[in-house]
Amino acid sequence: MTRKTLELGDLTTVVESGMTIGIGGWGSRRKPMALVRQLLRSDVTDLTVVSFGGPDVGLLCAAGKVRRVVYGFVSLDSIALDPHFRAAREQRGLPVTEYDEGMFVAALRAGAQRLSFLPTRAGLESDVLRMNPELRTVASPYDDEVYVAVPGIRPDVALIHLHRGDVHGNGQYLGPDPYFDDVFSLAADRTVLSVERLVETAELAAAAPQSLLVNRLFVDAVVEAPGGAHFTTCVPDYGRDELFQQTYADAAGSPERWEAFAAEYLNGDEASYHAAVRALHARRVPEGATA
């Protein structure tokens, strides 16, 4: 079997400017944040981002790397709205395609099946059709039902993060939800999988079969990235870093605060990012307590 390991710094051998990228995870849960941070360090731009969005979308918007966002929502979960995405929409008129969550999943599943569209009841009699006038309805050939014909989404590259993987690209999730990461990998032309830890294939094979979410046949590159979902959740390995998430959201309040945030956390490499996060938490430990 082929080894598919990729160094984080080589991500731009897969992701190029102008691409449509699908980003797995859900809101502020198990996002491939190490991969997103690497895109921030690169000169890649003009991206169409397809996501159940969270800080992945916000960070890419703040860096000016996004041409359009296709989404079901963009939320930080414990903070309702990502402030950078909100600013991009309200102040800069960022083009978007906003779908009902059911429509978004239908679009991904259509792409995964190489179909031009899938019919769904989601979105009928709603403002989704008014806000997306390019959408069409389709009549069933079997009865009088009418459905929304959601066009399939085919990202050039999918970026996903799982708990464990092997060097061949098999991926395992250990948390409460797959978050459609497998569907992203099926829909995309290429997939980059980041994992908390690379293990032997035998260890994956010994696990519960339902935890083996992503097959190596649909993964083109695998990146070992401990803490690679930070600051989103990666349960059971770690939870959401609420202190850092609040720091991120607060920094969006002014250009000066954001510039300081980026200088401290985003302008260096991945090791310096995690060191700065540890320093943030050390500063917040109460006097007399242990970190």
Confidence band of 286 (pLDDT split at 50, 70, 90): low
For residue 236, is the peptide bond before it cis, meaning its omega torsion is within 30 degrees of 0? yes
Domain membership of residue 167 (yes or no) is yes
Whether residue 92 is predicted with pLDDT greater than 90 in this model: the reply is no
Provide mean pLDDT across the span 192-201: 98
Residue predicted with more confidence, 29 or 290: 29
User: Which segment of 52-61, 183-192, 227-236, 280-289 scores lowest on mean pLDDT?
Assistant: 280-289
Confidence band of 285 (pLDDT split at 50, 70, 90): low
- Pick the last residue of a domain from 205, 222, 240: 240
Residues 114 and 225 in one domain: yes
Residues 151 and 250 in one domain: no
Q: pTM here?
A: 0.95
Residues 226 and 246 in one domain: no
User: Which segment of 49-53, 121-125, 183-187 scores lowest on mean pLDDT?
Assistant: 121-125
Residues 175 and 271 in one domain: no
- Element (DSSP H or E) covering residue 67: strand 66-74
> Dihedral sign, CA of 153, 154, 158, 160?
positive
Alpha carbon separation from 127 to 57, 99, 122, 124, 131 (Å, rounded): 23, 10, 11, 9, 6
Residues 128 and 264 in one domain: no
Which positions ≥6 away from 68 have C-beta within 8 Å?
A: 48, 49, 94, 95, 96, 97
Residues 66 and 199 in one domain: yes
Residues 137 and 266 in one domain: no
Determine the Cα–Cα distance for residues 41 and 34; give it in Å rounded to an integer.
11
Residues 185 and 210 in one domain: yes
Domain membership of residue 290 (yes or no) is no
What is the domain count for the chain? 2
Confidence band of 153 (pLDDT split at 50, 70, 90): very high
Which range of residues forms the domain containing residue 175? 1-240
Alpha carbon separation from 280 to 47, 197, 226 (Å, rounded): 31, 25, 19
Dihedral in degrees, nearest 10, Cα atoms 38, 75, 71, 12: 0
Residues 50 and 149 in one domain: yes
Alpha carbon separation from 156 to 57, 96, 185 (Å, rounded): 17, 18, 10
Residues 164 and 71 in one domain: yes
Q: What is the pLDDT of residue 291?
A: 40
Domain membership of residue 148 (yes or no) is yes
Whether residue 290 is predicted with pLDDT greater than 50 in this model: the reply is no
Domain membership of residue 119 (yes or no) is yes
Residues 70 and 6 in one domain: yes
Residue predicted with more confidence, 1 or 78: 78
Residues 157 and 276 in one domain: no
Q: What is the pLDDT of residue 287?
A: 52
Residue predicted with more confidence, 125 or 152: 152
Whether residue 201 is predicted with pLDDT greater than 60 in this model: the reply is yes
CATH number, domain with residue 135 = 3.40.1080.10
Which positions ≥6 away from 207 have C-beta within 8 Å?
A: 172
Provide mean pLDDT across the span 96-117: 97
Percent of the chain exceeding pLDDT 90 equals: 93
Domain membership of residue 121 (yes or no) is yes
Provide mean pLDDT across the span 84-92: 93
Confidence band of 284 (pLDDT split at 50, 70, 90): confident
- Residue 197 near residue 243 (C-beta atoms within 8 A): no
Q: Which of 172, 253, 194, 264 is nearest to 31 (CA)?
A: 194
User: Which segment of 14-23, 106-115, 123-132 scores lowest on mean pLDDT?
Assistant: 123-132
Provide mean pLDDT across the span 89-114: 95
- Pick the last residue of a domain from 222, 240, 258: 240
